[in-house]
Amino acid sequence: MSNNIIDTDSEDEIPPGWEERVTFEGRVFYASHDQHNTQWKHPVTGRKNMSEEVELPYGWERVIQDDGTIVYVDHINKKTCFTDPRLAFAEPLKTSPKDFRQKFDGNSFALQILNGRDLTGKYAIITGASDGIGYETARSLAFHGATIIMACRNTEKAEKCRSNIMKDRPKATIEILHLDLASLRSVKQFAEEYKRRAWPLHMLILNAGVRVVVVSSESHRFPKIHMIEDVTEDSLSLPKDKYRSCISTNLQRNWWLYRVVFFIVRPFTKSKQQGAATTVYCATHSDLEEIGGMYFNNCCPCQPSKESMDEQLAEKLWTVSETILQDRLARLTSI
């Protein structure tokens, strides 16, 4: 069989004499016309594949001709072919939740990752949605049918962003709720208002089941917290001039030197659409439905900093954070 395998840039290429087919249940199998047998494993990669779509796409029909040949009819485009259209949605069958192939990288765009996805009926809260990566995330998800709740401190700015999105997608569903993360009172009011409206929640994307995507930064590799003794209330407030980013957003507005540097390196940085790609990937892709507690960079899982993996530091950070919140909440309720 190895003599029949042709040179190709893709390891998923089917060798001559083989055919890829799909069962009624959406399971992919391979038929060898030379050996007159079938198998579940890909003849080259050895992987087992499964189509995400069990039913034929809308407008398609499976027809058995008089000679027994199976063809697929696209009534919308008035075309007929021998290839099962469900094969376009075939994915490697996972043996574990973390068994997935990297399909995107640092050059990918958020809209590219969402290509073909229908998010109708999905609700997403996005903080910081009026600017930068948050805006591109909201825009991309809205373009694909998700109901967006823009949780923003500046609602006037959020209204302008909503208008911009609606110009391109008049049917987009975008709600705006005031949320000032510097105020626990505002956080409480936001939660109560969301609950009052009885909206479901499928994605929670924190820029400044339910999928919770906390947007981080490679800046976490330059911490000022290295030991348990470093975890104090003062050390938990990162000065604005300490942000490091390789994405062209407005973070650099906080210091004049950063503005100069970003002006020079802007041609070499990611666009906001590219910056939003990893967020959108983590929030929507089916490969990650059973995965949590991982750090992704450029749509790929990678090892975070040593400090972020220190369990003792994490426990101390949690304890100090709880103390701070309890103190703030006590002040809030006493007012």
Q: Is residue 222's pLDDT more than 70?
A: no
What is the C-alpha R_g of the chain? 25
Sort strands 49-51 and 90-92 into parallel, antiparallel or unpaired.
Answer: antiparallel
pLDDT of residue 129: 93
At 269, the amino acid letter reads T
Measure the CA–CA gap between 69 and 80, rounded to whole angstroms: 12
**Which region among 54-63, 102-111, 146-155, 253-262 has the lowest average model confidence (pLDDT)?**
253-262
**Percent of the chain surpassing pLDDT 90:** 24
Q: Band the pLDDT of 312: cuts 50, 70, 90.
A: confident
As a 3-state breakdown, the chain gives helix, strand, coil percent values, each rounded to 5, of 35, 20, 45
Q: Residue 51 forms beta bridges with which residues?
A: 90
**Residues 136-175: tens digit of each pLDDT:** 999 999 999 999 999 999 999 999 999 999 999 999 999 9
Residue reference for tokens 């820029």: 207
Measure the CA–CA gap between 153 and 249, rounded to whole angstroms: 18
pLDDT of residue 92: 67
Residue reference for tokens 């911009």: 164
Q: Reduced to 3 states, what is the DSSP secondary structure of residue 101?
A: coil
Going from the C-alpha of 29 to that of each of 41, 96, 97, the distances in angstroms are 7, 20, 22
**Percent of the chain surpassing pLDDT 70:** 72
Asked if 55 contacts 43 with a C-beta cutoff of 8 angstroms, the reply is no
Asked if 83 contacts 71 with a C-beta cutoff of 8 angstroms, the reply is no
**Residues 114-133: tens digit of each pLDDT:** 987 889 999 999 999 998 88
pTM, rounded to two decimals: 0.61
Residue reference for tokens 């972020």: 308
Q: Is residue 262's pLDDT more than 70?
A: no
Asked if 265 contacts 123 with a C-beta cutoff of 8 angstroms, the reply is no
Residue reference for tokens 């967020």: 279
Asked if 141 contacts 280 with a C-beta cutoff of 8 angstroms, the reply is yes
pLDDT of residue 12: 66
For residues 8 and 197, which has the higher predicted lDDT (pLDDT)? 197
At 333, the amino acid letter reads T
**Residues 5-37: tens digit of each pLDDT:** 334 344 567 888 898 888 877 788 888 988 888
**Which region among 67-76, 252-261, 324-333 has the lowest average model confidence (pLDDT)?**
252-261
Measure the CA–CA gap between 65 and 237, rounded to whole angstroms: 70
Q: Band the pLDDT of 224: cuts 50, 70, 90.
A: low
Q: Band the pLDDT of 242: cuts 50, 70, 90.
A: very low
Mean pLDDT score across all residues of the chain: 79
Asked if 248 contacts 262 with a C-beta cutoff of 8 angstroms, the reply is yes
Residue reference for tokens 């002006």: 263
* Chain Cα centroid distance, residue 49: 22
